Structure 1
Amino acid sequence: MFIFAHRTMTNTVFRKVTATTALAPTHREGQSMSTHSFVIVLTCLVALLTGTLVAAAAGYLARRDNASYPAAITRAAVAFAATLTFATALATALNTATGQ
């Protein structure tokens, strides 16, 4: 299998990919992600995962409490929104406290 490997903007080459080829990108000047950006992306992903798990648990518990499907979905949506709001407020407070 071949994939594109960009050397420069005008010179594109093919690189042969085998089972032993390392697919990790090499560090090139001007293309690395800063640590701060990485932490922001990671925080967003953790917040979304946590919100999804909380919403699933809230919907499941609502159904176990004999709520109708629309009521269970509504409770799950409210729990998801509340979790994301809390995570956003926490991330903003941490960002303000660290001075980044």
Structure 2
Amino acid sequence: MSDAYSYTTIAVEPGQAPRITVSLRPDGQMTVWCSAGHERAQISILHADAHVVITPTNPTVPTAADVRAARMLADSFAVYAAEVERLHAVALQAAESDPSAD
């Protein structure tokens, strides 16, 4: 059984702008698509019924701020990947050393 799912929440508080949160808990069914060498920059993430697209403010003429944002995303995703790998290794090590796991 998979624990994968995606959902969106909208919180509306009096006197405040709505806060919209999209949560993705993907499995092997997630698709991430990004191509190079085209006239526009974008990355798409599809999972369950969620479709997230990230583009520069002007996908065909990115600004220096767009470049900084793209680098920030890349750096954050690299940290995320390293943390997922680390936690996976910790879980494997714990499972291997647990005598009740047999």
Which TM-score applies when normalising by structure 1? 0.37
Q: By percentage of residues, which structure has more strand? A: 2
Tell me which of the two structures has the higher relative contact order, counting C-alpha pairs closer than 8 angstroms and 6 or more residues apart: 1
Q: By percentage of residues, which structure has more helix? A: 1
